[in-house]
Amino acid sequence: MSTTEAVLDFRVAPQPHLSRLVRERVIDFAQTHDVGEDDLAYFLTALGEAVANAIEHAKADQPILIEVRVGEDRIVATVQDRGIGFPTALVIEPDLPDTHSERGRGLPIMRRCSDIFALHSEPGRGTAVVVGRYLKRETLRATVA
């Protein structure tokens, strides 16, 4: 693969049943660009949480913007909604809640499954979440050797 990045850019309506479509499109794109199974599994977990949060919490009617980039050493996604947003100053570095809690796992899971993580939100303007992984690329090294 060259040093240029491959980009997948699409939009989905904020409807829960479309999470599957997001997953399928990203799997196809990532596999086309030699992203390994382990990296892809962690990445999809983080991305799935970001998309689920946008669908559930943004309260937006407009589509969710999803951009995935695969470079030589990383895969990164930005999930952006135009929903209600929230003040990020209120976000504490969360840990996973206790086992009896039904909520509050999204951000900790995104952080644990990502090497790259960023969150930006503005009340009334929406939220953007960036999740990503540095790729191991064992398969590529094995085929070159």
- Domains along the chain with CATH numbers: 6-144 (3.30.565.10)
Closest C-alpha among 117, 132, 139, 137 to residue 42: 132
Rounded-to-integer distance, Cα 98 and Cα 115, Å: 24
* Mean pLDDT for all residues in the chain: 86
DSSP assignment string, 62-120: SPEEEEEEE-SSEEEEEEEE-S----GGG-----PPPTT-SS--HHHHHHHT-SEEEEE
pLDDT, tens digit, 9 for 90 and up, residues 114-130 = 999 999 999 999 999 99
Rounded-to-integer distance, Cα 140 and Cα 14, Å: 36
* 63 has a pLDDT exceeding 70: yes
pTM equals 0.83
Instruction: Judge contact between 140 and 34, C-beta under 8 A.
Output: yes
The pLDDT of residue 143 is 44
The pLDDT of residue 29 is 98
Instruction: Judge contact between 34 and 138, C-beta under 8 A.
Output: no
The pLDDT of residue 141 is 47
User: Residue 106 — pLDDT band, cuts 50, 70, 90?
Assistant: confident
The pLDDT of residue 98 is 52
Rounded-to-integer distance, Cα 96 and Cα 138, Å: 31
